[in-house]
Amino acid sequence: MAGTGVIRGVRPLTSFLSGFFLPDPDVRAAADDRSLVELCRSLMSARGESSTFRLAVSALSAYEGLSHEGRLAFFRYLLDELDVSPADIQVAASEYASAPGPATLARLQRVSEPLRQELFRKLNQADGATTKLVQMRKDLLRMMPDNPDLGRIDLDFMHLFTSWFNRGFLMLDRINWSTPATILEKIIAYEAVHEIDDWEDLRRRTQPSDRRCYAYFHPRMPDEPLIFVEVALTKGVPGSVQDVLAEGRAPILASQADTAVFYSISNCQAGLKGISFGNSLIKHVVSDMSSELPNLETFVTLSPIPGLRRWFEEQAGTDASEPEGEELRQIAATYLADAKHRETLPRDPVARFHLSNGARIENVLAGADLSVNGRRQSFGAMVNYRYDNAQVESRSESFATDHAVSLSRQVQALLPAGRSLLTSKKWNENAQSPS
Could you report the per-residue pLDDT of 290-348, keeping only the tens digit for each? Answer: 999 999 999 999 999 999 999 999 998 888 889 999 999 999 999 999 999 888 999 99
State residue 64 phi and psi, 5-degree precision. Answer: -65, -25
Q: Rounded distance, CA 283 to CA 290, Å?
A: 11
Average pLDDT, the chain: 91
What crossing angle do the helices spanning 68-81 and 36-45 adopt, rounded to 10°?
Answer: 40
Report the 10 Å Cβ neighbour count for 298.
Answer: 17
Domains of the chain by start residue, with CATH: 23-127 (1.20.140.90), 304-428 (3.40.630.150)
Identity of the amino acid at 373: N
Query: With left for phi above 0 and alpha for psi between -120 and 50, is residue 111 left, alpha or beta?
Result: alpha
Query: What is the rounded average pLDDT of the residues 276-297?
Result: 92
Nearest Cα neighbor of 384 from 326, 305, 307, 308 is 305
Q: To the nearest whole percent, how much of the chain has pLDDT over 70?
A: 91
- What DSSP designation does 240 have? -
Could you report the per-residue pLDDT of 226-255, keeping only the tens digit for each? Answer: 999 999 999 999 999 999 999 999 999 999
Residue 54 predicted with pLDDT over 60: yes
Q: What is the pLDDT of residue 432?
A: 57
Residue 2 near residue 287 (C-beta atoms within 8 A)? yes
Tell me which H or E stretch contains 435. none
Residue 6 predicted with pLDDT over 80: no
List the alpha helices (DSSP H) in 128-277. Answer: 129-143, 151-164, 181-190, 199-206, 241-245
Q: What is the pLDDT of residue 12?
A: 45
Looking only at the bridges linking them, the beta strands covering 298-301 and 259-267 are parallel
Q: What is the pLDDT of residue 279?
A: 83
Specify the range with the lowest mean pLDDT, choosing from 17-31, 348-362, 412-426: 17-31
CB burial readout 74-106, b (16+ within 10 A) else e: bbebbeeebeeeeeeeeebeebbeeeeeeebee
Residue 384 near residue 336 (C-beta atoms within 8 A)? no
Q: Which pLDDT band, with edges at 50, 70 and 90, does 10 fall under?
A: very low
Residue 1 near residue 287 (C-beta atoms within 8 A)? yes
- What DSSP designation does 82 have? S
Residue 18 predicted with pLDDT over 80: no
Could you report the per-residue pLDDT of 34-47, keeping only the tens digit for each? Answer: 999 999 999 999 99
Nearest Cα neighbor of 351 from 309, 407, 389, 296 is 407
Q: What is the pLDDT of residue 417?
A: 96
3-class SS of residue 174:
strand
List the alpha helices (DSSP H) in 240-307. Answer: 241-245, 278-292
Q: Rounded distance, CA 300 to CA 392, Å?
A: 12
Could you report the per-residue pLDDT of 138-178, keeping only the tens digit for each? Answer: 999 999 999 999 999 999 999 999 999 998 999 999 999 99
Q: Rounded distance, CA 138 to CA 151, Å?
A: 12
Residue 333 near residue 364 (C-beta atoms within 8 A)? yes
Could you report the per-residue pLDDT of 73-101, keeping only the tens digit for each? Answer: 999 999 999 999 999 999 999 999 999 99
CB burial readout 397-415, b (16+ within 10 A) else e: ebbeeeeebbbeeebeebb
Residue 7 predicted with pLDDT over 70: no
Q: What is the pLDDT of residue 4?
A: 39
Q: What is the DSSP string of 395-430?
A: HHHHHHHH----B-HHHHTTHHHHHHHHHSHHHHTT
Q: Rounded distance, CA 139 to CA 303, Å?
A: 30
Q: Rounded distance, CA 366 to CA 379, Å?
A: 8
Q: Which pLDDT band, with edges at 50, 70 and 90, does 20 fall under?
A: very low
